[in-house]
Amino acid sequence: MKRLFLVGLILVLGSSSLVFAQERTERRRGLYVDVGLGFGGVSYFNGDTKAITDHFKETTDTRATADLQFLTIGWALTQDLYLVGTMSGIGDSYFDTQNNQNPMIIIATYGIGARYYPLPSKKYLQVGLDVGLSGIGIMYNQNNQYITEDSDAGFSGRLSAAYDFDTTMTGFTGLVGGALTMNIIENDTSLSYMLFFKLAFK
């Protein structure tokens, strides 16, 4: 009887240790890295940039706007929350196929933010918030020379939500989602709306 009790106790303790070890391994989050690309649109509400883009729209054939998530890197503060730093940009390109002129507006952003998994039992939802500094660069062709004009630094804010294809706590994954980004730079205000795909390690 004592021997049976001892064997039972060893089995219980062993299984408890195994479960604890599995949970500890599953919850061990540290480094977070992602890169991504998206497409959508951007609207300009006031300032010189709006006047410039209105001119581009009148003088070009087509337009394409890309969301360039060059690098997001950070560290887990809790099991569900990462603190991250970001380098990103919006490329707003215009194409005049007849005159071979392709003016472009680039909004570059450097910021800090968070990536949060609000549903611990269902790990597929990721939401994000970023704030930082941004600037506008305008490139266009004049007399067969490309001219670049840069703005001073302004403010950027970005909200995102994405589906995480890997519902485990850690590992390589893909993310599909959408984002809204507002930039206030000098007298210019813009709002972009994007659908994106990211590759990430969490």
pLDDT digits (tens, 9 = 90+) for 13-24: 444 343 334 444
Structure token pair of residue 85: 């730093």
**61 lies in some domain:** yes
Q: Which of 32-36, 52-56, 126-130 has the lowest mean pLDDT?
A: 52-56
**20 lies in some domain:** no
Measured distance CA(118)–CA(135) in Å, rounded: 32
pLDDT per residue as tens digits for the range 70-87? 999 999 999 899 999 999
Structure token pair of residue 4: 């049976």
**167 lies in some domain:** yes
The predicted structure's pLDDT at residue 20? 38
**12 lies in some domain:** no
Alpha helix ranges (H) inside 60-181: none
What CATH number has the domain bearing residue 115?
2.40.160.20
Residue 158 pLDDT class (50, 70, 90 cuts): very high
C-alpha distances in Å from residue 136, one per residue of 25, 36, 48, 64, 132: 44, 21, 11, 17, 14
**75 lies in some domain:** yes
**132 lies in some domain:** yes
Q: Which domain holds residue 179?
A: 30-201
- Phi–psi pair at 59, nearest 5 degrees: -110, 0
Average pLDDT over residues 96-115: 90
Q: How many domains does the chain have?
A: 1
**133 lies in some domain:** yes
